[in-house]
Amino acid sequence: MRLAKAKVMYQPTTARLYIKPFCGWCSEAIEWLDRNRIKYNTVDVTSDLVAWDEMVRLSGQTCAPVIEVDGKMLADFGADELARFWNELG
């Protein structure tokens, strides 16, 4: 029996995850990124007005999570959308 090779996930140069505390979708995104061993920086937009303004400017909305990965943006998503987005990066 042959074992399938584990897929190597795209490893970004920069990844910023804009979150709001106690946001279920934000927690899902964090868990997905951690489970796939992807390095990223988390930015709490509720405690940093500059980060809030940046998230709104980049995504055009106030919903979280928003992730910016090497210049590509995904906004207001769940884990399934994040997985599809990530597969398109690699």
State the CATH number of the domain containing residue 28: 3.40.30.10
**31 Ramachandran zone, left/alpha/beta (phi>0; psi -120 to 50):** alpha
CA angle in degrees (0–180, nearest 5) for 22-25-29: 110
Three-state secondary structure call for residue 79? helix
Domain that residue 76 falls in: 15-89
Supply the DSSP string of 8-38, one letter for each residue: PPP--S-EEEEE-TT-HHHHHHHHHHHHTT-
Q: For 64-82, what is each residue's pLDDT tens digit?
A: 999 999 999 999 999 999 9
- Asked, for residue 81, whether it belongs to a domain, the answer is yes
Mean pLDDT of 15-37: 95
Share of the chain above pLDDT 70, in %: 92
The model's pTM: 0.88
31: pLDDT strictly greater than 80: yes
Q: What is the pLDDT of residue 9?
A: 79
Q: Structural domain tally of the chain?
A: 1
Instruction: Tell me the C-alpha distance between 54 and 45, whole Å.
Output: 9
